[in-house]
């Protein structure tokens, strides 16, 4: 019954701001605990919403969202107070970001210690993101994408495919990953796991009856200029062929 008491209710504080930025600006986002959602849009500005949460007003006020704007680079850095050594003291504090940027911007560095990362509709030169533990999701990002996950689950999803020279790399230390690609995908696909199994709808017909493999290296429709690489040290990889959208 005590779980619903005022002492355990989460307090919130919202930060919202709009900045005019270059369409190819480099964006850096650093967060310790919470979420980072980044959306690419047809815009020449960056919208930032940050929701800070903590159990006490004092702890909430100690969490800082620092935004630095330069002509061609933007830095969003989250500062958390040191966590007490003793469990009885308040260790709370998360920040959830929703960030809308020009689709052509570069996500030069995204780092989140624990929580959830979402990347949607990015088309810049690069998208680099790292998550310590939690869930990572990338949707319709036609860029040089490099995703690193220490522990958790990772998902790639494309509603359609575009021809071009770009690379998608997903590296998971411990956890499972899934990728959903349209039937008309053209790429060089590499999937490899150290301890786990791989299921792929894009395996050659001669391989589908074979025993479970720990590595796939195949050219889909000739390979083209795009490359998709998925690697897990410990975990399963699943690659699904989706139906073409009518």
For residues 159 and 120, give the distance between their C-alpha atoms in angstroms, rounded to a whole number.
11
Confidence of residue 2 (pLDDT cuts 50, 70, 90): very low
Provide the Cα torsion 192, 195, 196, 198; round to 10°: 10
Map tokens 């949460």 to a residue. Answer: 53
**Is the pTM value of this prediction over 0.85?**
yes
Confidence of residue 217 (pLDDT cuts 50, 70, 90): very high
For residues 129 and 2, give the distance between their C-alpha atoms in angstroms, rounded to a whole number.
39
- φ/ψ of residue 61, rounded to 5: -70, -25
pLDDT at 74: 97
For residue range 18-62, list pLDDT tens digits in order. 999 999 999 999 999 999 999 999 999 999 999 999 999 999 999
Give the chain as a DSSP string.
-GGGSGGGPPEEEEEEEEEE--TT-EEEEEEEEEEEEEEEES-SEEEEEEEEEESSHHHHHH-EEEEEE-SSEEEEEEE-PPPPSSTTS----EEEEEEEEETTSEEEEEEEEEEEEEEES--SSEEEEEEEEEEEEEES--SEEEEEEEEEEEEEE-SS---SS-EEEEEEEEEEEEEEEETT--EEEEEEEEES-EEETTS-TTTTTSPP-SEEEEEETT-TT-EEEEEEEES-EEEEEEPPP-
Confidence of residue 207 (pLDDT cuts 50, 70, 90): low
Confidence of residue 213 (pLDDT cuts 50, 70, 90): confident
Average of pLDDT values for 201-227? 79
Map tokens 């975990």 to a residue. Answer: 235
Mean predicted lDDT score pLDDT of the chain: 91
pLDDT at 5 over 50: no
pLDDT at 1: 37
For residues 33 and 63, give the distance between their C-alpha atoms in angstroms, rounded to a whole number.
11
Q: In which region does residue 34 sit, left (phi positive, over 0), alpha (psi from -120 to 50) or beta (all else)? A: left
* Planar angle of CA 202, 143, 151, nearest 5 degrees: 70
Per the CB < 8 A criterion, the answer to whether 183 and 244 are in contact is yes
For residue range 130-143, list pLDDT tens digits in order. 999 999 999 999 99
Which has more pLDDT, 104 or 1? Answer: 104
For residues 162 and 182, give the distance between their C-alpha atoms in angstroms, rounded to a whole number.
10
For residue range 125-183, list pLDDT tens digits in order. 999 999 999 999 999 999 999 999 999 999 999 999 999 999 999 999 999 999 999 99
């Amino acid at each position: 019954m005590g779980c619903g008491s005022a002492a355990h209710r989460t307090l919130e504080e919202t930060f919202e701001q709009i900045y005019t930025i270059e369409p190819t600006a480099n964006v850096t986002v650093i967060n310790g605990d919470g979420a980072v959602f980044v959306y690419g849009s047809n815009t020449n500005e960056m919208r930032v919403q940050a929701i800070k949460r903590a159990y006490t007003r004092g702890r909430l006020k100690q969490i800082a969202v620092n935004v630095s704007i330069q002509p061609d680079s933007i830095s969003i850095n989250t500062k958390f107070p040191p966590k007490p050594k003793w469990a009885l003291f308040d260790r709370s504090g998360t920040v959830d970001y929703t960030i809308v940027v020009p689709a052509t911007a570069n996500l030069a560095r995204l780092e989140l210690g624990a929580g959830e990362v979402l990347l949607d509709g990015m088309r810049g030169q690069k998208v680099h993101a790292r998550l310590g533990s939690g869930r990572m999701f990338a949707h319709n990002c036609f860029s040089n994408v490099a995703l690193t996950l220490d522990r958790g689950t990772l998902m790639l999803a494309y509603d359609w495919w575009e021809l071009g020279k770009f690379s998608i790399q997903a590296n998971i230390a411990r956890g499972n990953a899934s990728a959903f690609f349209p039937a008309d995908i053209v790429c060089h696909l590499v999937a490899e796991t150290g301890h786990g199994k791989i299921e792929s709808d894009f395996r050659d017909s001669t391989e589908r009856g074979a025993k479970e493999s720990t590595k796939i290296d195949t050219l889909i429709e000739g390979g083209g200029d795009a490359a998709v690489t998925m690697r897990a040290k410990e975990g399963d990889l699943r690659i699904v062929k989706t139906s073409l959208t009518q």
